[in-house]
Amino acid sequence: MPRPACFDRPPVWLAALLLGAGLAAPAAAQDWPDEAWNPQPRDGDLVLPLPCGGAMAFRAVSVPGVGALGDRQVLLGNQGSEAGYADGPRYAPLAGSFAVPGDSGHRIYWIQAYELTEGQRAAIEGACLPPERETWLPAADLTWSDAVALADHLTTWLMANRPNALPSEEDAQGFVRLPTEVEWEYAARGGAAVGVEDFRAARFPMDGPIATFAWYQGPTSADGSRHPIGLLQPNPLGLHDMLGNVEELVLEPFQANRLGRLHGQVGGYVARGGDYLTPVAELRTALRQEYAPYRAGAPNRLDTVGVRFVIGSSVTTSMARVRAIEQALDDLITGADSFADDAGADLEDPLGELGRLTATVTDRARRTELETIAVALRAQVEARSVSAQRTAGSLLRLGAYLGSAIQRDDQAMAIRTRQLAAFQAADSNSPHAARLAESLAIAHETIDDNFDFYSETAVVAASSFDRSVVDEQVRVLSLELENRGRPELVPFVGVFRDHIFEYADTGRIDRADWVADLSRGGTSP
């Protein structure tokens, strides 16, 4: 098998591994045990074959969204971080590479369930190691160039030898690459499988000591060395060793955080997640390190740096996709009329009108000025659109939770009412009846308070957002709740949407009907 140029150097890491394992030379291809590549398999794993009888497991990361240009604004970083220049909070857009069949707007990307191992690295390079424990360690001493070349070599080998193994998006075949920073951190935090509070925490939710989820510095954990993949518990997406063991390279070069946005200077490569020498107090999903690509005149190789690949696809996968993107972009531009009233304008399409006006201007300086204004206006429209979507989603989530609480309290109150009637029929002076009557009064107050909040939220949503925005966010929120294991709340999202639209149409709140709708639980949107 031909080897890529960056592998022409003598593989020192391979020689050391063979020596440590007591092996004289690479072995012939043989089937690998699960411990070598997928020690904790899950339903739905995507398995890519490798040379030498090996394999690699990937898991899907769900990114709810709507439309060809629908994406998710992900809040990265840590608030109040001492290293704010590196991992302070900032928003970054994210969308999946692959559409979910039959589910418009819902997209996913695939990420390795485990860090790349020494055995997988050797197989990709064309050397078949016996699949013994030493080869189950995460690969280290990788530079960014090495990682990119490995991804390229694996992709070309698959396309030549296993062309149906890689997923496809329309007319385009997927390919293996490094994850972007937002792909890596979104997956590390738990993605759509966790709620906002858990997503923003310093570490993903752990139902036990951190030592059962991550390898870090100290004799009670890593004890100064790498450990085989998949020995510890995974994060909520089923991804192992997202924190500790080895740091993981990402696609983009380092840029400092300048108060919520990336600074313009581009630096060295970025590794995420900490490693086996990271103190436990510093281990967090926002941890982000910059490394110089070269040191002392040679590539900068560190025995703490490895990689975890993703499978991505092209964006313009077909002419139909290009047309859908163009239409979505036109819709975003003409969507400026949703905000025209706020600006005191009566134009149906202010950005379009500005474009037509610019086309009539012959003065070059004036025309450039108008074009600059148009770019700024489009950016403002997009920012307000994203803000509106985020706010609409938050109101829908609040309405669903309030609706669920109203249903629970209303049903409990109905039971207590029947119990009270039974006690009063038996003995009107019963102390049990008095206590039940008191609890019923409190329940009535609770339902009244929750309904006031619920109806007020519906009024705000009805007066603030177009139906299309509400419908889009209903679909997104429903997917999020399914991913978080809260499908019982999905019907309440639909009921709340119906109440928003009912108020928008009639201007009336029918308390009895709305509570009855919530008590029935509604139907899925």
Residue 522 pLDDT more than 70?
Answer: no
Residue 334: per-residue pLDDT: 67
Q: Region 35-39: what's the mean pLDDT? A: 96
Instruction: Using alpha carbons, select from 309, 267, 264 the residue that is nearest to residue 288.
Output: 267
Q: What is the mean pLDDT of the chain?
A: 85
Q: Which span out of 263-272, 321-330, 369-378, 504-513 was modeled with the highest average pLDDT?
A: 263-272
CA pair distance 189, 327, nearest whole angstrom: 33
**pLDDT tens, 109-165?**
999 999 999 999 999 999 999 999 999 999 999 999 999 999 999 999 999 999 899
Task: Give the per-residue pLDDT at 21.
Answer: 36
Q: Is the pLDDT of residue 97 over 50?
A: yes
pLDDT at 216 over 70: yes
Q: Is the dihedral of CA 97, 490, 73, 288 positive or negative?
A: negative
DSSP per residue, 251-320? EEEP--EETTEE-S---SEEEES--TTS-GGG--TT-EEEE-SEETTEE---TTEE---EEE--S--SHH
Instruction: Average the pLDDT over 236-257 and give the result.
Output: 97
304 pLDDT more than 70: yes
CA angle 109, 193, 476 (to 5 degrees): 75
C-alpha of 262 from chain center: 20
pLDDT at position 346 is 47
Nearest to 45 by CA among 60, 32, 62: 60
User: Of the segments 99-113, 170-184, 191-205, which one has the largest average pLDDT value?
Assistant: 170-184
Distance of CA 299 to the CA centre of its chain: 32
Q: Is the pLDDT of residue 17 over 60?
A: no
Give the range with max mean pLDDT: 31-45, 95-109, 325-339, 359-373.
31-45
For 278, counting Cβ atoms within 10 Å of its Cβ (0-12 exposed, 13-18 middle, 19+ buried), the class is: buried
Q: Which spans in 315-363 are helix H?
A: 319-334, 350-360
For position 383, what pLDDT does the model report?
73
pLDDT of 264 > 90? The answer is: yes
Task: Tell me which of 145 and 389 has the higher pLDDT.
Answer: 145
Mapping DSSP onto H, E and C, the string for 461-492 reads HHHHCCHHHHHHHHHHHHHHHHHCCCHHHHHH
What percent of the chain has pLDDT above 90?
A: 52
Pairing state of beta strands 261-262 and 269-272? unpaired
Which is nearest to 212 in space by CA: 185, 235, 188?
235
pLDDT band at 5 (very low <50, low <70, confident <90, very high): very low
- Count how many residues are written for the chain: 525
Distance CA(379)–CA(25), nearest Å, equals: 59
**How many H-runs (helices) and E-runs (strands) does the chain carry?**
13, 18
How is residue 381 written in tokens? 């429209």
- The pTM assigned to this predicted structure is 0.78
